[in-house]
Amino acid sequence: MIPELGQLALALALCLALVQGTVPIVGAALGRADWMALARPAAAGQFVFVVLAFGTLVYAFLTDDFTVWFVAEHSNSALPVFYKATAAWGGHEGSMLLWITVLAVWTMAVAAGSRSQPQEFASRVLGVLGIVSAGVIAFAFFTSNPFIRLIPGPADGNDLNPLLQDPGMIIHPPTLYLGYVGMSVPFAFAVAALLTGRLDKDWARWTRPWTVVAWLFLTGGITLGSWWAYYELGWGGWWFWDPVENSSFMPWLMATALLHSLAVTERRGIFKSWTVLLAIAAFSLSLLGTFLTRAGVMISVHAFASDPTRGLFILGLLALFSGGSLLLYAVRARNLEAEGGFKPVSREAFLLANNVLLVVAAGVVLAGTLAPLVVEALGFGKISVGPPYFNIVFLVPALPLVALIGVGMHTGWRMMPTDALLRRLRLPAIAAVVVGIAAPFIFFDTASVLTILALSIALWVCASSLLDPVRRLVFRTGAPMTRGQVGMCLAHFGVGVFMLGATAASAYNLERDFAARPGDRIEAGGYELVFNGTRQVQGPNFVADEGEVELRRKGELVTVMRPQIRTYQVQRSAMTEAAIDANGIRDVFVALGEPLGDNAWSVRLRIKPLIGFLWLGSGLMALGGLVAITDRRYRLAARQTERAVAEPAAGAA
């Protein structure tokens, strides 16, 4: 009975989404205030039913209702309660419902936050979100319904994939979805602005905080996923250029470009067309990511079992949303004349360079991700594109991009005298290059040209980002910094820290697989590892072989590491639990492989310097975004528009 309620709630949510997606938009075109006023109640109603449907699914999991196919497939009565609840998004159908729920949350936030905007504009924004929601709910309802019954149900469920039985699983997908799906908000703002024919500074100022929040979650979600793969799944690396990783990274690159382009549009009223296109592209890439993940067309660690109708449905949605918005853009774009240009040495020029490089970066990732599909479709056989491709081509736009951050953030709007800029940046630039050349030789004895280049650029961005805050805080000179500026410095400092981590962890990564018998000693990277054999341990729903490895440096014990191989009882599958010793400067990573006979085990050892800087840097980027949206001008602007809107409304009444 309860699952049928969920079914019904989802159907009602679909109906309300259709109302929300049509009536307010038509109302705005006809100038009917009563039709436009329907947007918020429809959105609220849709939210209630979507949450109800989601709650019903979680309830079915908590009560072990194995007559629901999705529950039987992804849960088990012995599963800890905690994981029962999160198993709701442990498979394709449930994760689509999560997608829809997250979109409903965003829609509610926009409904609440857009009260200060003109009714015509706000109802169009909510209308576009309604269309997106209707499309995705229809997809879930007709092709991926999580409430389908399995009668008679099995006595017990098939259990949750052991890889997903981890606290990381609880936060990674929802955080990533908040970012991914959040890209629909700038998209809705862009389409609404095209419909209204009002692409102005106000539009950019309204869009910007939403874009930053979505970007924040996307940054957080990607970081968590990478952290999770490294620390919890024991994959021994932090980024694999897997199609699914790429499909979250491409929207991130676009969203980052959009943030910077919005800054120009907000300040100077130029780059409007470009900003609109970026908003459309960021959302389209999010949808493409959903297609790549969900349609089973990709060979990926994330791939779910596939069904061709799903792929076609998502492609149809993608064509509708991207094609429709691009068509609208083509019709309306001629009204978008630029007001005034800019000089080659100005913040506008650097932000343009930022945008071009970010788009190129997203383009090369897209090319590598889609190449296997295209080649196969053309009948040239099955191919795959490996990490070497991405590692090479991604650096081509990424290195100049990061290097230019350091200059761009010190240039003024409109124009900047070159000599003043040079005087200001000379010292940190020289310092960064000197340290970038010296440090690898001091700590590691060797360095490639690429490593030196990357380290110098990373240090340069760090130094350049600290220039203004240090001047302000230490020497008490210069103008007080706004929150926006503080956020910018923090985020850019984060980029530098991230790049230090990425460079060191890639260039000086030590990797060894070896066979070890109890009592064996292995020397690697200045450490000595002593393998003391394994023993059996019992967990709540698994048994494990636990190894004991002593980590020693210069004869002294640093720590005892206990990597495990777990066998989960229901699915009988093995899972690696790596042991990691992190001290901020380097990680020592030890994982057990398999018993090799003769009392020996295979052991995987990795030593990665500065890998902690990756998460720290990403965290600083996100923190920078958070600080920036608390800037005064967004609160002030909201209040001013509120007044401006309230007055004519009062007059009309």
Partner 1 sequence: MVLVLAGLTVAGFLTYRALQENLLYFFSPSQVAAGEAPKRTFRIGGMVVAGSLKREPGTLNVSFVVTDLVHSVPVKYDRILPDLFREGAGAVVVGRLNDHGEFIGEEVIAKHDENYMPPEVADALEKARAAQGQ
Between the two ends of the chain, the Cα-to-Cα distance in Å is 48
Which positions from 559 through 618 interact with partner 1, judged by CB under 8 A?
565, 571, 573-576, 593-594, 596-600, 602, 604
- The nearer residue to partner 1, 384 or 640, going by C-beta atoms, is 384
Residue 450 contacts partner 1 per CB under 8 A:
no
Kindly provide the b/e burial profile for residues 528-567, where b requires at least 16 CB atoms within 10 angstroms of the residue's own CB.
Answer: bbbbebbeeeeeebbebbbbbbebeeeeeeeeebbbbbbb
Nearer to partner 1, 378 or 652 (CB): 378
CB 47 within 8 A of CB 104: yes
Compute the C-alpha angle 320/356/493, nearest 5°. Answer: 110
Of 325-333, 381-389, 428-436, 489-497: span binding partner 1 (CB under 8 A): 381-389
Dihedral of CA atoms 605, 609, 614, 619 in degrees, nearest 10, equals 110
Residue 326 burial (10 A CB sphere; 0-12, 13-18, 19+):
middle
Question: Cis omega before residue 400 (within 30°)?
Answer: no
399 near partner 1, judged by CB under 8 A: no
469 part of the interface to partner 1, by CB under 8 A? no
CA dihedral 300, 305, 307, 312 (to 10 degrees): -30
> Site residues for partner 1, window 98-137 (CB under 8 A)?
none
Of 113, 311, 363, 619, the one binding partner 1 by CB under 8 A: 363
Minimum distance from CB of 594 to partner 1 (Å)? 6
- Our finding on whether 379 is near partner 1 (CB under 8 A) is no
- The CB density around residue 168, as the number of other CB atoms within 10 Å, is 16
Residue 247 C-beta: closest distance to partner 1, Å: 15
**Does residue 44 bind partner 1 (CB under 8 A)?**
no
**Nearer residue to partner 1 within complex by CB, 344 or 526:** 344
- Residue 48 within binding range of partner 1, rule CB under 8 A: no
Give the DSSP letter of residue 149.
B
User: Site for partner 1 (CB under 8 A): which residue of 190, 195, 360, 409?
Assistant: 360
**The residue to which tokens 């929802």 are assigned:** 174
Residue 116 or 306: the one with the smaller Cβ distance to partner 1 is 306
Residue 337 makes contact with partner 1 by CB under 8 A: no
Instruction: Pick the binder of partner 1 from 332, 389, 413, 469 (CB under 8 A).
Output: 389
Q: CA 625, CA 489: separation in Å to the nearest integer?
A: 10
List of residues 6+ apart from 18 with CB closer than 8 A: 130, 134
The answer to whether 24 and 124 have CB atoms below 8 angstroms apart is yes
Q: What is the dihedral of CA 486, 489, 495, 497, to 10 degrees?
A: -90
By beta-carbon proximity to partner 1, the closer residue of 14 and 544 is: 544
**Nearer CB in complex with partner 1: 25/362:** 362
| Rounded-to-integer distance, Cα 95 and Cα 75, Å | 14
Smallest gap from Cβ 402 to partner 1, in A, equals 16
Q: Among 304, 315, 413, 645, which residue sits at the site for partner 1 (rule: CB under 8 A)?
A: 304
Name which of 196 and 532 has its Cβ closer to partner 1.
Answer: 532
Whose Cβ is closer to partner 1: residue 43's or residue 607's?
607
Compute φ and ψ for 476, nearest 5 degrees: 55, 35
- Backbone torsions φ then ψ of 533, nearest 5 degrees: 90, -175
Nearer to partner 1, 41 or 386 (CB): 386
Contact present, 608 and 589 (Cβ < 8 Å):
yes
Instruction: For residue 295, give the amino acid letter.
Output: A
Of 187, 171, 151, the C-alpha closest to 227 is: 171
For partner 1, the closer of residues 145 and 602 by Cβ is 602
Select 116 or 602, whichever has its Cβ closest to partner 1: 602
> Interface with partner 1 includes 392 (CB under 8 A)?
yes
State the nearest-atom distance from the C-beta of 383 to partner 1, in Å.
5
Site for partner 1 in 507-566 (CB under 8 A): 513-515, 517, 565
The least CB distance from residue 567 to partner 1, in Å, is: 10
Residues in region 282-301 near partner 1 by CB under 8 A = 296-297, 299, 301
How many residues in the shown chain lie near partner 1 by CB under 8 A?
Answer: 50
By the rule CB under 8 A, 77 interacts with partner 1: no
In the complex, the smallest distance separating the C-beta of residue 91 from partner 1, rounded to whole angstroms, is 10
Ranges within 143-162 binding partner 1 (CB under 8 A): 161
Contacts of 324 (CB under 8 A, 6+ apart): none
Cβ proximity of 545 and 592 under 8 Å: yes
Among 31, 152, 155, 382, binds partner 1 (CB under 8 A): 382
Query: Is 368 a residue that touches partner 1 (CB under 8 A)?
Result: yes
Q: Which of residues 145 and 306 has its CB atom nearest to partner 1 in the complex?
A: 306
Residue 12 buriedness (CB in 10 A; 0-12 / 13-18 / 19+) = middle
Angle, alpha carbons 365-215-316 (nearest 5°)? 60
Query: Alpha-carbon distance 447 to 420, whole Å?
Result: 34
Between CA 106 and CA 615 the distance in angstroms is 26
In the complex with partner 1, which residue's Cβ is closer, 92 or 562?
A: 92
Site of interaction with partner 1 (CB under 8 A): 161, 163, 296-297, 299, 301-306, 356, 360, 363-364, 367-368, 371, 375, 381-386, 388-389, 392-393, 396-397, 513-515, 517, 565, 571, 573-576, 593-594, 596-600, 602, 604
